[in-house]
């Protein structure tokens, strides 16, 4: 199975994908991100969807500052394959609001290298698609 990223790249210049089950969440696919991120406004609005892990992590925030984060997990689905995923919760309201104002698009989180490698996703920027394993 594959997911096209052509429309999102044409519209907002970024590889954005949407989960295939509710709640439908928009994720930036970021090969430069070491962590998976869910923005705090999403976490706070969907507390029943996430499970608190009781652990903290550290990561660089969108502004480049080292921040402590709460870690949560959730099952997200793309195509027909659910994936249990650990997210760092970060507050990035200003950056997310700026993206929405400039592109009319709301971003809910970031899928980083951890997610991409665990799920064996292959990103093809020539064909503007992400290939998921057929297992």
Query: Could you tell me the residue ranges of all domains in the chain?
Result: 2-131
Question: Does residue 71 contact residue 56 with C-beta atoms inside 8 Å?
Answer: yes
- Nearest by Cα to 110 from 29, 54, 14, 19: 29
- Alpha-carbon distance 71 to 90, whole Å? 10
User: For the chain, what percent of residues have pLDDT higher than 90?
Assistant: 52
What DSSP assignment string belongs to 40-101? HHHHHHTTTT-EEEEEEEEEE-TTS-EEEEEEEEEEEEETTEEEEEEEEEE--HHHHHHHHH
> In this structure, are residues 109 and 85 in contact, taking their beta carbons and an 8 Å threshold?
no
pLDDT score at 135: 55
Dump pLDDT digits (tens) for 100-123: 888 888 899 999 999 999 999 999
What's the fold here for domain 2-131? Answer: Cathepsin D, subunit A; domain 1 (2.40.70)
């Amino acid at each position: 199975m594959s997911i096209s990223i052509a429309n999102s790249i044409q519209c907002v210049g970024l590889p954005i994908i949407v989960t295939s089950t509710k709640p439908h969440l928009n994720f930036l696919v970021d090969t430069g991100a070491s962590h998976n991120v869910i923005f705090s406004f999403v976490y706070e609005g969907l507390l029943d969807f996430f499970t608190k892990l009781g652990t903290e992590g550290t990561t660089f925030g969108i502004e480049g500052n080292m921040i402590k984060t709460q870690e949560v997990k959730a099952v997200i689905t793309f195509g027909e394959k659910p994936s249990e995923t650990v997210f760092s919760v970060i507050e990035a309201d200003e950056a997310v609001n700026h993206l929405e104002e400039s592109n009319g698009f709301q971003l809910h989180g970031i899928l980083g290298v951890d997610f991409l490698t665990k799920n064996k996703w292959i990103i093809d920027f020539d064909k503007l698609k992400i290939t998921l394993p057929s297992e």
